[in-house]
């Protein structure tokens, strides 16, 4: 009896701690993916016997005039073998944009004429994903005069790029697009003939519309678990297309997955990578299952060239990767539930250039307020005002710098957002003021589900700005507050009502009157619906414009956090604190413009600390660099060692926040006791001392898309071994190479030096005592002993790092502190670096309040130009006897233009 109950308990415990995979679709049981995969398998087995169904009508091809822009338009004809008279017309447009972006859009004609039972549903194929993903309505199309175009009866081609070295060639039968660099094909679209666009048909006639290669699995119904209610009013609408990357074996991107940096082959037992934003409860590592966000950008990288493929679609999407072909190519198959076919292909020299070019379209990370790069202290929940203020003062007692304390859902009255639980938060304004006194901020959570039966949801329902069910009335589902409605932030009318909740006037208790240190956390915005299929909104729910939820699912989270950002931006015109900070759980391409993200509900286990590195790296290389993972792990109670190691790794996440589940024990750094508390404190202090470097990395990313946590291969493209390194990284362009300790009881680490440059041991950010230098003749590993105290960091020769070394309670209080420069010469004795400075909170920098000086590039604003450099530490060159040289008080102001040359053969004394 006793044994039985123990076994039962173990069983329950393990089932609690595993993702409930059966709640989520996979390719086999998902109608549209199953059908496309079947189609692809049939085509593969037919080989050359397959007769393609799609061809471009040569007589349709023409240049589409629209100002100076470059667009080629035409029509693809889809033949339906069993209905010889039917020709499905699929208009195709090929355009060229700045940054080598070749865009292709394929739609379906005649959708306006069809009739469906549900009169509220928009019949068209959804084509507005780009409007949410792109930074601007005006896309940077290339002018016709910069392109050499050639159209013949069976193909067209155009060349582009500064030296016209890129060519796009569109073959008409079978439809095939090849993008080449110097005549060498890089990407071939529809190389395998998997192009498939399920055209409109009525259910009764469906059989005739199918070709021999197709199956009719779940075309008009959904047989999966909780999805059976889906009415699928428009029947099958899926799209599928293959892309072959010629001679590329290393693929990256398409987050969010708890998986390796270098993407896995999915042809064997692995399921395809799925992009479908879901509240993936207790996710597992090494998984292709979908997660909270989706960025459909894939990077293919090799030493000489890189390719970016941006699949502009917000519906449920599967991506199959075949990396095993003998040819050395990678073959990929993209399958989405509906929408138009819309994609961009970018070929350029380096992955950094792909980041830059992709950012020209979707925007770069917005320069965040400086405070948000500091340490964030969160848990579910800090219970009341006293709790918050106590944590605030304990941080000071332990001399731990921090910038922001967070409140999770319990601060509200019964999970009614925009309210406070009055008995425990009687004076939010006073609390915010007290935090503000030491430059600290408050972030509170606001989710998109709005409890029914209180003024906010009543007003939203009355104004018809909620997501609707298939009958076009406000959809009711369940989330934290119980029965709820969801604001439809795709509805332009929603913004004003959302703004009115955040009004910044003396009367608004929620915002604390005029408090300007309040910022917002948007959670559960996949959206998470506890009683919905796959824990999200039913797909036949309706949004503004009659669009079904299935079409817009992956952009809902983006639309929601963007609305919050816009509301916050409207405040505080009377202060300089203009830059809002928003954290979002769900995201899409373009989210980087207005929010930071984190990797959701991880666990207090070593493998989650380990997987956080490739996950944050992946986010960085797809243009969403302001990313982090819950430090300490969300579920469970980390050992003291794990927590300490997590802090030491977490200080390198661009977004650095400790967070914990409501059932976990308190674990602020002082709870563990010594030596852990001091070690964690030192880690946080290291983050703060490096804030000038980190802020500079953010600035650079905000104008070029360069990752902030940057994979090693970005600096070692010639070195193929570096392409799979995912447990160490560079920090922006600073030259810092970090290898956090993420193994239990480690007493040494092996760090990979990707080139033969000199690397200085900068462990714990200290240049003390004798400096160890490492330099290998060829790339390889070096071993270094570590203790629990150690955060292994190396500084690449040729770099200059700016630090601020005084302890302050928050980043705001560091503003006037002087800088220390660490100069690390390369093998030739040269070093250079960059430092970006502004006021850290206003939009002044966008109005030209900045300047640059050389050697160390400095951007400064007003009074900041008077800040001094108090110390310059120059590490000696590799061959030299001198260990380091310290120049105290060099009397330099950061805005002054200066450079210094030091001879290598002089004696220490002379210097
Ligand atoms: C889910 C989020 O992922 C988690 O961070 C948060 O604490 C809970 N929701 C409660 O709001």
Residue 573 CB contacts under 8 Å (≥ 6 apart), including other chains = none
Point out the ligand 1 atom lying closest to the alpha carbon of residue 447. Answer: 11
Give 558-577 as a 3 state SS string.
HHHHHHHHHHHHCCCCCCCC
**Distance from C-alpha of 682 to C-alpha of 677, rounded to nearest angstrom:** 9
**Distance from C-alpha of 558 to C-alpha of 525, rounded to nearest angstrom:** 8
**Distance from C-alpha of 889 to C-alpha of 869, rounded to nearest angstrom:** 7
pLDDT tens-digit profile of 101-150?
999 999 999 998 998 999 999 999 999 999 999 999 999 999 888 888 99
What average pLDDT score do residues 586-606 get? 98
What average pLDDT score do residues 865-888 get? 77
Is residue 782 a contact partner of residue 751, using CB atoms and an 8 Å limit?
yes
526 is catalytic: yes
In 10 A of CB 777, how many CB atoms? 6
Give 127-151 as a 3 state SS string.
CCHHHHHCCCCCCCECEHHHCEEEE
**Distance from C-alpha of 788 to C-alpha of 746, rounded to nearest angstrom:** 8
Helix (H) or strand (E) holding 910: none
CA of 523 relative to ligand 1 center, distance in Å: 7
What average pLDDT score do residues 501-524 get? 92
Q: What pLDDT is stored for residue 193 in this prediction? A: 98
Q: What pLDDT is stored for residue 898 in this prediction? A: 55
Q: What pLDDT is stored for residue 848 in this prediction? A: 56
Tokens representing 712?
A: 């090693």
pLDDT tens-digit profile of 3-17?
333 333 333 333 345
Q: What pLDDT is stored for residue 144 in this prediction? A: 82
pLDDT tens-digit profile of 84-106?
999 999 999 999 999 999 999 99
What percent of the chain shows pLDDT beyond 70?
Answer: 92
pLDDT tens-digit profile of 325-366?
889 999 999 999 999 999 999 999 999 999 999 999 999 999
What stretches of 659-810 show up as alpha helix (H) in DSSP? 676-689, 691-704
pLDDT tens-digit profile of 414-448?
999 999 999 999 999 999 999 999 999 999 999 99
Which of 819, 825, 747 has the alpha carbon at shortest distance from 790? 747
**Distance from C-alpha of 313 to C-alpha of 125, rounded to nearest angstrom:** 11
Tokens representing 606?
A: 């070593």
Q: What pLDDT is stored for residue 863 in this prediction? A: 53
What stretches of 163-311 adopt beta strand conformation (E)? Answer: 166-171, 176-181, 184-189, 196-197, 239-245, 250-253, 273-275, 297-301, 306-311
Which of 385, 370, 372, 379 has the alpha carbon at shortest distance from 429? 385
As a whole number of Å, the CA-based R_g of the chain is: 28
pLDDT tens-digit profile of 774-827?
999 999 999 999 999 999 999 999 999 999 999 999 999 999 999 999 999 998
Is residue 72 a contact partner of residue 93, using CB atoms and an 8 Å limit?
yes
Q: Which of 291, 377, 524, 655 to mutate to test the pocket of ligand 1 (most atoms within 8 A of CB)?
A: 524
pLDDT tens-digit profile of 221-254?
999 999 999 999 999 999 999 999 999 999 999 9
523 is catalytic: yes
CA of 522 relative to ligand 1 center, distance in Å: 10
CA of 279 relative to ligand 1 center, distance in Å: 10
**Distance from C-alpha of 587 to C-alpha of 526, rounded to nearest angstrom:** 8
In this predicted structure, the answer to whether residue 384 has a pLDDT above a threshold of 60 is yes
In this predicted structure, the answer to whether residue 881 has a pLDDT above a threshold of 70 is no
Q: What pLDDT is stored for residue 39 in this prediction? A: 98
Q: Give 44 or 268, the one with higher predicted confidence.
A: 44
Q: What pLDDT is stored for residue 84 in this prediction? A: 94
Point out the ligand 1 atom lying closest to the alpha carbon of residue 445. Answer: 11
Which of 148, 159, 156 has the alpha carbon at shortest distance from 100? 159
In 10 A of CB 761, how many CB atoms? 19
Which of 270, 249, 253 has the alpha carbon at shortest distance from 261? 253
Instruction: Tell how strand 482-486 and strand 477-479 pair up.
Output: antiparallel
Q: Residue 20 — pLDDT band, cuts 50, 70, 90?
A: confident
Q: Residue 895 — pLDDT band, cuts 50, 70, 90?
A: low
Q: What pLDDT is stored for residue 468 in this prediction? A: 98
Tokens representing 715?
A: 């600096």
Is residue 882 a contact partner of residue 863, using CB atoms and an 8 Å limit?
no
Instruction: Tell how strand 582-584 and strand 596-598 pair up.
Output: parallel
Q: What pLDDT is stored for residue 861 in this prediction? A: 46
Q: Which of 281, 557, 632, 634 to mutate to test the pocket of ligand 1 (most atoms within 8 A of CB)?
A: 634
Point out the ligand 1 atom lying closest to the alpha carbon of residue 378. Answer: 7
CA of 444 relative to ligand 1 center, distance in Å: 12
CA of 402 relative to ligand 1 center, distance in Å: 21
Q: Whose CA is nearest to atom 7 of ligand 1?
A: 380
Q: Which residues line the pocket of ligand 1, CB cutoff 6 A?
A: 380, 408-409, 445, 523, 585, 600-601, 634, 659
What stretches of 463-533 show up as alpha helix (H) in DSSP? 494-501
Point out the ligand 1 atom lying closest to the alpha carbon of residue 634. Answer: 5
What average pLDDT score do residues 464-468 get? 98
Q: What pLDDT is stored for residue 896 in this prediction? A: 54
Q: Which of 256, 291, 377, 380 to mutate to test the pocket of ligand 1 (most atoms within 8 A of CB)?
A: 380
What average pLDDT score do residues 284-303 get? 97
Q: Which domains are seen in the chain, by residue range?
A: 27-362 (2.60.40.1760), 375-697 (3.20.20.80)
Which of 222, 212, 213 has the alpha carbon at shortest distance from 194? 213
Please give the model's pTM, rounded to 2 decimal places. 0.95
Helix (H) or strand (E) holding 389: helix 385-397
Q: What pLDDT is stored for residue 882 in this prediction? A: 63
761 is catalytic: no
Q: Which of 242, 259, 342, 526 is catalytic?
A: 526
Q: Which of 523, 700, 757, 761 is catalytic?
A: 523
User: For 161, left (φ over 0), alpha (ψ -120 to 50), or beta?
Assistant: left
In 10 A of CB 316, how many CB atoms? 27
pLDDT tens-digit profile of 728-781?
999 999 999 999 999 999 999 999 999 999 999 999 998 766 788 999 999 999
pLDDT tens-digit profile of 614-624?
999 999 999 99
Is residue 595 a contact partner of residue 582, using CB atoms and an 8 Å limit?
yes
Q: What is the mean pLDDT of the chain?
A: 92
Q: Which of 277, 381, 408 to mutate to test the pocket of ligand 1 (most atoms within 8 A of CB)?
A: 408
In 10 A of CB 819, how many CB atoms? 22
Q: Which of 548, 601, 682, 841 is catalytic?
A: 601
pLDDT tens-digit profile of 528-580?
999 999 999 999 999 999 999 999 999 999 999 999 999 999 876 556 788 99
Tokens representing 545?
A: 């414009």
CA of 373 relative to ligand 1 center, distance in Å: 21
Tokens representing 8?
A: 């039962």
Point out the ligand 1 atom lying closest to the alpha carbon of residue 661. Answer: 7
Is residue 323 a contact partner of residue 346, using CB atoms and an 8 Å limit?
no
For residue 321, what are the β-bridge partners?
332
Tokens representing 360?
A: 């020209």
In this predicted structure, the answer to whether residue 597 has a pLDDT above a threshold of 90 is yes
CA of 278 relative to ligand 1 center, distance in Å: 13
């Amino acid at each position: 009896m006793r044994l039985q109950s123990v076994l039962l308990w173990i069983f329950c415990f393990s089932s609690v701690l595993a993702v409930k995979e059966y709640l989520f679709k996979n390719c086999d049981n998902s109608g549209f993916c199953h059908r496309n995969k079947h189609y692809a398998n049939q085509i593969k087995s037919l080989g050359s016997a397959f007769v393609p169904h799609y061809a471009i009508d040569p007589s349709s091809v023409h240049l589409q005039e629209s100002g100076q822009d470059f667009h080629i338009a035409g029509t693809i004809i889809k033949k339906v073998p069993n209905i010889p008279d039917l020709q499905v017309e699929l208009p195709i447009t090929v355009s060229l944009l700045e940054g080598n972006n070749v865009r292709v859009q394929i739609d379906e004609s005649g959708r306006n004429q069809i009739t469906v039972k549900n009169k509220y549903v928009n019949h068209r194929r959804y084509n507005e994903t780009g409007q949410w993903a792109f930074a601007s309505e005006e896309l940077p199309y290339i002018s016709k005069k910069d392109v050499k175009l050639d159209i013949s009866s069976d193909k067209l081609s155009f060349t582009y790029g500064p030296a016209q070295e890129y060519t796009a060639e569109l073959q008409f039968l079978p439809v095939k697009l090849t993008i080449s660099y110097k005549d060498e094909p890089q990407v071939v679209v529809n190389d395998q003939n998997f192009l498939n666009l399920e055209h409109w048909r009525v259910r009764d006639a469906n059989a005739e519309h199918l070709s021999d290669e197709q199956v009719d699995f779940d075309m008009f119904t959904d047989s999966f678990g909780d999805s059976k209610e889906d009415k699928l009013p428009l029947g099958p609408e899926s799209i599928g297309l293959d892309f072959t990357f010629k001679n590329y074996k290393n693929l990256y991107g398409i987050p969010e997955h708890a998986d390796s940096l270098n993407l896995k082959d999915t042809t064997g037992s692995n399921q395809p990578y799925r992009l479908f934003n879901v509240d993936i409860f207790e996710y597992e590592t090494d998984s292709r299952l979908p997660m909270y966000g989706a960025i459909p950008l894939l990077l293919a990288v090799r030493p000489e060239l890189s390719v970016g493929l941006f699949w502009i679609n917000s519906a449920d999407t599967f991506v199959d990767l075949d990396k095993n072909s003998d040819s050395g190519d990678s073959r990929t198959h993209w399958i989405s539930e509906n929408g138009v076919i819309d994609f961009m292909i970018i070929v350029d020299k380096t992955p950094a250039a792909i980041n830059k070019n992709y950012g020209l379209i979707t925007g770069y990370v917005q320069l965040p307020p400086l405070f948000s790069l500091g340490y964030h202290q969160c848990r579910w929940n800090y219970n009341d005002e006293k709790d918050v203020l106590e944590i605030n003062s304990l941080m000071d007692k332990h001399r731990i710098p921090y910038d922001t304390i967070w409140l999770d859902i319990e601060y509200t009255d019964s999970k009614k957002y925009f309210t406070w639980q009055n008995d425990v938060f009687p004076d939010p304004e006073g609390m915010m003021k007290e935090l503000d006194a030491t430059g600290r901020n408050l972030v509170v959570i606001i989710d998109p589900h709005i409890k029914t039966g209180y003024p906010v949801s009543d007003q939203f329902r009355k104004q018809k700005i909620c997501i609707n069910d298939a009958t076009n009335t406000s959809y009711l589902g369940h989330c934290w507050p119980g029965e709820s409605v969801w604001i439809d932030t795709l509805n332009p009318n929603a913004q004003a009502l959302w703004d009115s909740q955040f009004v910044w006037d003396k009367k608004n208790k929620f915002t604390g009157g005029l408090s300007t240190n309040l910022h917002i956390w948007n959670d559960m915005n996949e959206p998470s619906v506890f009683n919905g299929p796959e824990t999200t909104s039913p797909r036949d729910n309706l949004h503004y414009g009659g669009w079904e939820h299935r079409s817009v699912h992956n952009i809902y989270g983006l639309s929601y956090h963007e609305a919050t950002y816009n509301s916050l931006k409207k405040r505080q015109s009377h202060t300089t604190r203009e830059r809002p900070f928003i954290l979002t759980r769900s995201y899409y391409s373009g989210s980087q413009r207005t929010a930071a993200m984190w990797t959701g509900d991880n666990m207090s286990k070593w493998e989650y600390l380990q997987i956080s590195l490739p996950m944050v790296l992946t986010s960085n290389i797809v243009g969403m660099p302001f990313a982090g993972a819950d430090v300490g792990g969300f579920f469970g109670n980390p050992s003291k060692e794990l927590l300490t190691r997590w802090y030491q790794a977490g200080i390198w996440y661009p977004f650095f926040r400790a967070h914990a589940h409501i059932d976990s024990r308190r674990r602020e750094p002082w709870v563990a006791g010594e030596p852990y508390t001091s070690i964690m404190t030192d880690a946080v202090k290291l983050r703060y001392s490096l804030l000038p470097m980190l802020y500079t990395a953010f600035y650079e990313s905000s104008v070029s898309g360069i990752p902030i946590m940057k994979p090693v291969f970005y600096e070692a493209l010639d070195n193929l071994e570096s392409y799979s390194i995912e447990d160490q990284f560079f920090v922006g362009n600073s030259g810092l190479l970090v290898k956090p300790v993420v193994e239990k009881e480690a007493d040494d680490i092996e760090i990979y030096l990707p080139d033969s440059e000199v690397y200085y041991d900068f462990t714990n950010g200290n240049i003390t005592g004798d400096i160890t230098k490492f330099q290998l003749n060829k790339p390889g590993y070096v071993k270094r002993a570590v203790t629990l105290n150690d955060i292994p960091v190396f500084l690449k020769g040729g770099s200059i790092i700016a630090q601020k070394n005084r302890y302050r309670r928050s980043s705001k209080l560091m503003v006037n502190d002087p800088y220390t420069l660490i100069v690390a010469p390369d093998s030739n004795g040269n070093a250079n670096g960059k430092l970006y400075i502004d006021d850290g909170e206003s939009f002044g920098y966008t109005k030209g309040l900045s300047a640059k000086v050389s050697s160390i590039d400095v951007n400064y604003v007003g009074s900041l130009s008077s800040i001094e450099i108090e110390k310059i530490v120059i590490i000696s060159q590799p061959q030299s006897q001198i260990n380091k040289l310290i120049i105290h008080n060099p009397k330099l102001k950061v805005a002054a233009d200066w450079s210094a040359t030091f001879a290598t053969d002089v004696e220490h004394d002379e210097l």
